[in-house]
Amino acid sequence: MAEFTMELNDEQKEVRDWLHGFAADVIRPAAAEWDEREETPWPVIQEAAKVGIYSLDFYAQQYFDATGLGIPMAMEELFWGDAGIALSIVGTGLAAVGVLANGTEEQIGTWIPQMYGEPNDVKVAAFCSSEPDAGSDVASMRTRAVYDEAKDEWVINGTKTWATNGGIANVHVVVASVDPGLGSKGHASFIVPPGTPGLTQGQKFKKHGIRASHTAEVVLDGVRVPGSCLLGGKEKLDERLARAREKARKSGDRVKNAAMATFEASRPAVGAMAVGTARAAYEVALDYARTREQFGRPIIDNQGVAFQLADMRTQIDAARLLVWRASWMAVNGRPFEAAEGSMSKLLASETAKKVTAQAIQILGGNGYTREYPVERMHRDAAIYTIFEGTSEIQRLVISRTISGMPIR
């Protein structure tokens, strides 16, 4: 088990500086254009693939970093560049992690390379879980997968929403209910291969922020996939369902609590994204306050501005420390006894919204225009308090965890 540390080692610093350079030289110059176009920034993804950032190998190296700091460090630097483009670069990773976590070696070897493609022919993947009536309440998922034993196929019907890369992906990973009576424990994940009949893109969302990231509905109408596309295989699924039914009979709500614990482990990565956006806005505001003069002196000489910057920096550092702590705990198998994963996501996301708003205020009228990036950063920051569980859900998880009440 790695010791907890607040200091990156030499290798991590080298990776951080490399990512920062890519974010500064490639992502930032393209950010305003792709935000206005509201389209997937394929040329930037291709550049990321050519240098090795857009690849399974890169994310696997960060994911298996024994300190737990690889992923949050990478997320912070990329999202410091631009949240919309960064999400387009890392969005495939969510689907890939779903296959890595649940798939067989054969499934991993078959499907993950198809998610990324090649540097000269990049592909993307989509992870489809949320539904119009099942966002935070994952247990109410309506998408169903029914096994056709005669053909060894699964038939999937339902509608997914808020899917990053939904409809444009080469490979879709779809979460569906195979036993509605078990709630979230009755879910399974399926690969939907390229060109499968019945899968179509529904509404593409015109978003307030992260506009360079494609977000859409995915409609599944009689989608048939081979039995081999059930992640982990049917034998493993049947064993898991049998255990879940027995646990549900004996322990009731504890089944749902175990499901919530799974989501806890992924939330620090979103917190790191928020930290990156907040840090970017803070740095713009700090530089502006040092150079912008009013009444014959830089505005940072005014206590009202200086104190805001002091609070912004303090909040960003506090959020990063909570993210790092939760990330270290997750990779080292430490239980989140006080919902530390939700704590990190809550503070970081709320900090991003507040800090980006303060940055606009410090820049005044300039901050309200698209000539300066803090306006875009503020729009982007709004998503962090919504996806991967709203701030209200994080507070619910934290409060119920520390009180010992069941999380429903």
The DSSP letter of residue 131 is: B
Q: Is 388 among the catalytic positions? A: yes
Choice among 217, 340, 350, 388 that is catalytic: 388
Distance CA 332, CA 342 (A): 17
The neighbouring-strand residues paired with 156 are: 145, 223
Run of H or E residues at 226: strand 215-226
User: SS3 for 391?
Assistant: helix
Against a cut of 0.75, is the pTM above it?
Answer: yes
Q: Which residue, chain included where needed, has tokens 């506009």? A: 211
The answer to whether the CB of 184 falls within 8 A of the CB of 217 is: no
For 199-218, the DSSP string reads EEEEEEP--SS-TTS-EEEE
Burial 58-88 (b: 16+ CB within 10 A, else e): bbbbbbebebbbbbbbbbbbbbbbbbbbbbb
Burial 164-196 (b: 16+ CB within 10 A, else e): bbbbebbbbbbbbbbbeebbbbbbbbbbbeeeb
Half-sphere exposure of 385 (CA within 13 A, CB side): 14
CB atoms near residue 13 (< 10 Å): 12
Run of H or E residues at 121: strand 121-122
**Per-residue tens of pLDDT for the chain, all 408 residues:** 667 777 889 999 999 999 999 999 999 999 999 999 999 999 999 999 999 999 988 988 998 898 999 999 999 999 999 999 999 999 998 899 889 888 999 999 999 999 999 999 999 999 999 898 765 566 678 999 999 999 999 999 999 999 999 999 999 999 999 999 888 789 999 999 999 999 999 999 999 999 999 999 999 999 999 999 999 999 999 998 998 888 766 664 444 433 344 455 578 999 999 999 999 999 999 999 999 989 999 999 999 999 999 999 999 999 999 999 999 998 888 888 899 999 999 999 999 999 999 999 999 999 999 999 999 999 999 999 998 889 999 999 999 999 987 665
* Phi and psi torsions of 199, nearest 5°: -95, 120
